[in-house]
Structure 1
Amino acid sequence: MVTGLLERVEYKRKYRTPQIILENARQLTSITEEEASRLIAASQKTLWEKFWDLSKRIFKGRVKKERKAAQRL
């Protein structure tokens, strides 16, 4: 079981990074280096965007719980 998990992690690390995906796409199509770097930059969120998305998800969950509690009363 552990070896299967390690194999999956290794596979994802090897084949699923944005750079690898775009490199494969560039080979299939004919994307230039500049277009590929722009796509990589667009696909990676900034730290602030990640924080903002996480805080929105937490807030939505909190609001749902409060609504359910209010409906029970």
Structure 2
Amino acid sequence: MTATTTPQLTAADRCDRCGAQAYVRVVLPVGELLFCAHHAREHAPKFAELATEVHDETDRLLEEHGAGAVR
């Protein structure tokens, strides 16, 4: 993750799978994908092989929603 080149995800950034708030940006050789925490965990084995960068902000879930938010 490179915070200086990757802008922070906002509430306007939505998961490409379900439309929930995105907390993970996966930069690919061509384009990028945005995922909610759930779909990022589900698809991590697939995108880890292809990604040039993964910007993971899932730790914000604890800050914003408390300990029960991540399962």
The TM-score normalised by the length of structure 2 is 0.24
Query: Max radius of gyration: which structure?
Result: 1
Which one has more relative contact order, counting CA pairs under 8 Å at least 6 apart?
Answer: 2
The TM-score normalised by the length of structure 1 is 0.23
More helix by share: 1
